[in-house]
Amino acid sequence: VQSLSGSLPPVPLSEIVQLAECKRVVQVEVVGGAECVAVLCGRSRSVRLFTWDELKDPDCGGSKLPDTRGVTVLAQGSLAQGTQPCLCVAIKRQVLCYRLAPGAPRCARLCEVQAPAPVQWLGVFGDRLCVGYPSGFSLYSLVKEVPPVALLSPEDPSLLPLPQPPAPDALCAVEIARNELLLCFASVGLYVDCRGRRARHRELMWPSLLTHCCYSAPYLLAYSESGIHVFDVKSMEWVQTIAVQKVRIAF
């Protein structure tokens, strides 16, 4: 398994690493700057941290991140121009953010934010946290005490019809540039600026309702029941459709 969000120590591709007694792994995030792996696992959906050395020992259970029972999704990133690793975890509408570092103490609470609705997606863009929830996304600062920004601004009338019932699921957001983001919902993709106003006149229209999305620059992979649709997010061009039915994304 290779991660797009961090770097692992050299491990032969044929080697399988067992993460202690994690019977059900939901999501894995590699935090290279803190030399550890964050694993969302177990019936209680808690988060455990494993150092590089702990990955070599199948009997090691890692360390449990405090107050992380019932986590729905997590995300890692780097603050202070890439020098300070962080980890954010969502529990219903609450998001807990931690600073991470090699050695002990491994983590320290950074901040806590409250989303308008149950969190469906998280992403860290530099010093900003992007939170996705049904019919919306919001942007929070992780280093300053400033109000969050709703990325579907009510001041832009062209965006008002989009959040109406049934509320579309928020699948992911992509930072195109410092002041432009692509918001991916199950039904449509919208380009907005960091104040929540429309950045492009056109939307990304999916061939069918999406179940998942993921991004590997410069391509967006949009998963539906009929296949995987690949788009170039900068040019807004459809690249190809991989006709594989009922595919599920592996975090």
Query: Does one domain contain both 190 and 228?
Result: yes
Query: Does one domain contain both 79 and 158?
Result: no
Is the Cα torsion angle 75, 80, 81, 82 positive or negative in sign?
negative
- For residue 10, being part of any structural domain is answered with no
Total count of domains within the chain: 2
Dist. CA 81–CA 127, nearest whole Å? 8
Q: Of 126, 143, 169, at which residue does a domain stop?
A: 126
To the nearest 10°, report the CA torsion of 32, 72, 225, 170.
-90
- For residue 183, being part of any structural domain is answered with yes
What radius of gyration, in Å, describes the C-alpha atoms of the chain? 18
- For residue 238, being part of any structural domain is answered with yes
| 207-227: pLDDT as tens digits | 989 999 999 999 999 999 989
Residue 8 binned pLDDT confidence (cut-offs 50, 70, 90): low
Percent over 70 (pLDDT), the chain: 86
Residue 23 binned pLDDT confidence (cut-offs 50, 70, 90): low
Query: What's the predicted TM-score (pTM) here?
Result: 0.87
pLDDT score at 216: 93
Q: Of 92, 126, 160, at which residue does a domain stop?
A: 126
Task: Kindly report which listed range (73-77, 84-88, 157-161) carries the lowest average pLDDT score.
Answer: 157-161
In 136-149, which positions are buried (b, 16+ CB within 10 angstroms) versus exposed (e)?
A: bbbbbbbeeeeebb
Query: Does one domain contain both 71 and 167?
Result: no
Query: Does one domain contain both 41 and 120?
Result: yes
Query: Does one domain contain both 93 and 181?
Result: no
pLDDT score at 154: 86
Dist. CA 140–CA 145, nearest whole Å? 9
- For residue 142, being part of any structural domain is answered with no
Q: At a CB cut-off of 8 Å and minimum separation 6, what does 34 contact?
A: 85, 100, 101, 102, 106
Dist. CA 209–CA 35, nearest whole Å? 38
- For residue 12, being part of any structural domain is answered with no
| 114-146: pLDDT as tens digits | 999 999 999 999 999 999 999 999 999 999 999
Going by their DSSP bridges, the two strands 219-224 and 210-216 should be labelled as antiparallel
Query: Does one domain contain both 105 and 196?
Result: no
Domain of residue 28 covers 20-126
